[in-house]
A and B are shown apart, each in its own frame.
Chain A
Amino acid sequence: MTNAAPLIEGRDLTRQFPMTAGAVTALNHASIRIEAAEYVAITGPSGCGKSTLLHLLGCVDQPTSGSLTFEGRDVARLNETERSRIRLTRIGFVFQRFFLLPMLTAWENVELPQAEAGVPRSERRNRTRELLEYVGLADRIDHRPSQLSGGEMQRVAIARALANRPALLLADEPTGELDEVTGDQIADLFDRVHADGTAIVVVTHNATVAARAGRRLAMKSGRIVEAGKQ
């Protein structure tokens, strides 16, 4: 695995946010390499730059300095349309607050990224049904987020993240708003996603979720301070 090209590689990533009171350095010369189909957990105290790192890995934000390649492409050279396309087709996002579109049903939330990617209608229908079955919500397809529990919303969000068969699933505190049992169900689901061949990078405070990852990184003050392999 080490010889193959990495899925994503960030070198000396620094991200500063210019503020009136002076720039905040959220990420300070962090380097990270994620292999295809790897499962990595990132832990660390609040404000240490975990989300900032995840946004860079997800091609949502861009580093102040340092370089990032995604599937061999230099992300800095891509324009917003190209980065948007990568987010749509190669990366899935899962957040603490689910971020489902409130006016769409579970079905429509999962269908949206496929429609944007130009997946034909019949294929889309099959894929959406398959995904909602996969996350155990086949009977809730017509429900809107407001009619679902936190765990159910997070499962819809995972189905949406997987809609276009991404190579990488990025999760930022995915169990942060869930109780322990529900959180475990989400962690179980991640295990399955990983087993199906998708790389996962999960930022979490939850030790049991982190324990399931193949590799754990700890962050502190914008740096990756500790890397452990199991």
Chain B
Amino acid sequence: MTRLRLILFILLSAAGVAASFAATAAAPDALPAVLVSRQLAESARLHVGDTVTFALDAEGKGGRQFRVAGTYEPTPDPMKFTARRIEARMHLPDLVDVTAAQPDADSADAVDGINVRLAHPDDARAFGAAVMARAPGIFARPTARTGDGSDPFAVLDRFHFAIAVVTVVGSTAFLLALMVMRAEERRETVGIVRLIGISQRSILLEVLVEGLLIAAGGAIFGVLFALATQGAVNRFFQWRYDTALVFVRVTTRIALESVALAVPLGIVAGLVGSWTLLRRDVVAMVRR
């Protein structure tokens, strides 16, 4: 394990720490450094150089003083985006110090998570396995996507997929109803062209081309609209939840998938609509 250098950044559980900091004015330079999250700095009006006390106890009993060395933007986490990120990062020995000073034995449990950044991220899996083997009761896993379906992004993906399926099914039903209505509006026109001898093949071809153009146009419009608005959507939710998390990102793949789905759907809807007319009796279509 020695080759795996553990680099320090500690994430203190917000609940344990948040309530018990206070800016004081004591011998600043000698104090250990701490980084506070942007949100914590904003809500407690902390500045670089300020002295703060961290304790696991709400009254500040047995607390340790630190010097604010800087602020940081917490890594966006979809599992935490509704939580206020009142967090701090301190050196591991300082953390041990803070927790060891607690008279109450249970308080040591207030640290419920530590993020470890590896110098060689590829070793994450092996590192996690080694930690778990040596320290029973500790659960260590890489933050990179595991692909086993349990990571939060996979859960979100499934959620998005479900929303997409519902949207597609709903709008397809709507589109079909619309196309059948449009076809009905064109009853007389189709009757006329069939009467003067335009073949069903030509009519279907025309509908096909029309459906293709409309569907492709619609899909491209949708993608452009999403591209144009994704910035605004992200900014709104980032403001709403005070996070740097990116909520919407229109990737090339998403754009292509939308077009690939919309175009056949549009064509099918057009064909279904016109099929209802092509099956009909010509005379009946032009009779009043």
Q: Which residues of chain B come closer than 8 Å to A86, judged between CB atoms? A: 197
A61:B197 contact, CB within 8 angstroms: no
Interchain CB contact (< 8 A) of B196 among A61, A81, A113: A113
Residue B189 interfacial (CB < 8 Å)? yes
The complex places the Cα of A26 from the Cα of B119 at a distance, in Å, of 92
19 contacts between A and B (CB under 8 A): A58-B195, A60-B282, A61-B281, A80-B200, A84-B197, A84-B199, A85-B197, A87-B195, A88-B196, A88-B198, A93-B195, A99-B188, A99-B192, A99-B286, A101-B193, A102-B189, A112-B196, A113-B196, A113-B197
Residue A160 interfacial (CB < 8 Å)? yes
Q: Which residues of chain A come closer than 8 Å to B256, judged between CB atoms? A: none
Residue B194 interfacial (CB < 8 Å)? yes
Residue B229 interfacial (CB < 8 Å)? no
Nearest-Cβ distance from residue A53 to partner chain B, whole angstroms:
12
Residue B202 interfacial (CB < 8 Å)? yes
B282:A116 contact, CB within 8 angstroms: no
Residue B283 interfacial (CB < 8 Å)? yes
Interchain CB contact (< 8 A) of A112 among B198, B199, B200: B198
Nearest-Cβ distance from residue A48 to partner chain B, whole angstroms:
16
Contact A101 B192, CB 8 Å, known A60-B282, A60-B283:
yes
Number of interface residues of A (CB under 8 A): 24
> Which chain B residues (173-228) contact chain A, with CB distance < 8 Å?
188-189, 192-200, 202
Among A80, A93, A99, A112, residue most surrounded by chain B Cβ atoms (within 10 Å): A99
Nearest-Cβ distance from residue A85 to partner chain B, whole angstroms:
7
B196:A87 contact, CB within 8 angstroms: yes
A116:B199 contact, CB within 8 angstroms: yes
Contact with B along A145-173 (1 / 0, CB 8 A): 00000000000000011000000000000
The complex places the Cα of A84 from the Cα of B283 at a distance, in Å, of 13
Q: Which residues of chain A come closer than 8 Å to B202, judged between CB atoms? A: 116
Q: Identify whether the interface residues of A are mostly helix, strand, loop, or mixed.
A: helix
> Which chain A residues (61-94) contact chain B, with CB distance < 8 Å?
61, 80-81, 84-89, 91, 93
User: What residues make up the interface of A, taking CB atoms closer than 8 Å to B?
Assistant: 55, 58, 60-61, 80-81, 84-89, 91, 93, 95, 99-102, 112-113, 116, 160-161
Nearest-Cβ distance from residue B214 to partner chain A, whole angstroms:
15
A160:B196 contact, CB within 8 angstroms: yes
Q: Which residues of chain B come closer than 8 Å to A95, judged between CB atoms? A: 286
Nearest-Cβ distance from residue A199 to partner chain B, whole angstroms:
17
**Top 8 closest A-B pairs, CB basis?**
A88-B197, A87-B197, A99-B192, A61-B283, A116-B198, A84-B197, A84-B199, A55-B283
The complex places the Cα of A108 from the Cα of B165 at a distance, in Å, of 43
Q: Which residues of chain A come closer than 8 Å to B193, judged between CB atoms? A: 101, 112
Interchain CB contact (< 8 A) of A89 among B189, B197, B200: B197
The complex places the Cα of A81 from the Cα of B202 at a distance, in Å, of 11
Among B197, B200, B281, B286, residue most surrounded by chain A Cβ atoms (within 10 Å): B197
Q: Which residues of chain A come closer than 8 Å to B192, judged between CB atoms? A: 99-101
